Chains A and B, each alone.
Chain A
Amino acid sequence: MPPQLFERHRKRPRERSQWSETPPPTSLAFLWGARPSATSFFPFYTGKYLYFWKGNFNRLMVKTTLEVDDRLWKKFSMLVMRKKGFRRKNEVIEQLIRDYVESEAPYEMSDAMLSFDEERAAFEGMKDSLLMNDTLRGKHVAVLHGKVVDSDANRNSLIERAYKKHGYVPIFFGFVGAERTVEVPSPEVRRGS
């Protein structure tokens, strides 16, 4: 059997997968850096996407459908087959998406920003209960992995301590009280305008 055909018919190695009982995520923020917290044996389908855990990479994946011009798809398939071998189209498409995201939003869409948004959302979610807490009301809190890990009346001390303890990682520092508003009112005139 020619090597290509052997490759084509070879059984794919089974992946040790972890399936999640967590409700289907609604935002991209959940897709990155997500970790399975519970295990079951069923994937979940939201009506639009099929979600599943890919055990090898320990992250949540999504299965989606693309509509592509037939000739374009055939050309793409042949090119991938020639250059990369069989069953590599997913890999190439994922890399193309990754390159696009990197080039279009190198900073905003970074994993760090998404993690920060998750921590911020966690803080917003628990803010009401924090306000009921006499020891935390009026203080700044550090939120990491969705939990309050430290608090202090002095924001700068808290930031310094938190980065020292947990490293320079996305941590949300929120105030348990009224939100802060700052003014940067200076209008500027550009030369020539």
Chain B
Amino acid sequence: MRYDTTNYHPPAPIVDVKVFRPNARTHEVGMGKLDTGADMTVIPVSWVRRLRLLPSGVVTVTGYDASSAKREIYPVRIELGRFQFPSLEVLASNREDALIGRDILNELNVSLNGKELTFELTDP
């Protein structure tokens, strides 16, 4: 898989992501940026609205500048290419793409080749 050099500067490893409402077929499709720094996956708040997701809990989220805030988390089912994550809680943020955090990445074998701007996701 190749890095997205058009929409991201510097180029970023992007995957197609499908987010489903729990126990439903209703879903949103979009781009997900692999983010090994994120503890949790983040989806755009517009998807939350369109899917009419219900929050399941609240967590304290800290950002890069150590600022922290309480945010709702939403249970969803996620498809990342051919990989399925049937039960996962995600954060929502005012952004256009999703951030694929380590809650997903730690379930996979991720190899990033920055020099060649390619990456691989496998399930060993």
Chain A residues with a Cβ under 8 A of chain B: 106-107, 112-113, 116, 120, 155-156, 159-160, 163-164, 168-175, 179-187, 189, 191
Over the window 72-113 of chain B, the binary record of Cβ atoms lying under 8 Å from chain A Cβ atoms (1 yes, 0 no) is 100100000000000111010100000101000000000000
CB of B54 within 8 A of CB of A186, answer no
CB of A184 within 8 A of CB of B39, answer yes
Within 8 A of A (CB), among B35-85: 35, 37-40, 42, 48-49, 52, 54-65, 68, 72, 75
Q: Which A residues are CB-close (under 8 A) to B99?
A: 184, 186
B122 in contact (CB, < 8 A): no
CB of B56 within 8 A of CB of A159, answer yes
Q: Which A residues are CB-close (under 8 A) to B30?
A: none
Q: Which A residues are CB-close (under 8 A) to B39?
A: 182-184
Q: List 30 A-B contacts (CB under 8 A).
A: A106-B49, A107-B48, A107-B49, A116-B54, A116-B72, A120-B58, A155-B89, A156-B75, A159-B87, A160-B87, A163-B22, A163-B23, A163-B75, A164-B23, A168-B24, A169-B54, A170-B54, A170-B55, A173-B57, A174-B57, A175-B57, A179-B60, A180-B60, A181-B60, A182-B40, A182-B59, A183-B38, A184-B99, A185-B62, A187-B65
- Other than the given A156-B88, A159-B89, 11 more pairs (CB < 8 A) read A113-B55, A116-B55, A120-B58, A159-B87, A168-B22, A184-B37, A184-B40, A184-B63, A184-B91, A185-B37, A186-B37
Chain B residues with a Cβ under 8 A of chain A: 9, 21-24, 35, 37-40, 42, 48-49, 52, 54-65, 68, 72, 75, 87-89, 91, 93, 99, 101
* Main secondary structure on A side of the interface with B: mixed
Bound state CA distance, A41 and B37, in angstroms?
59
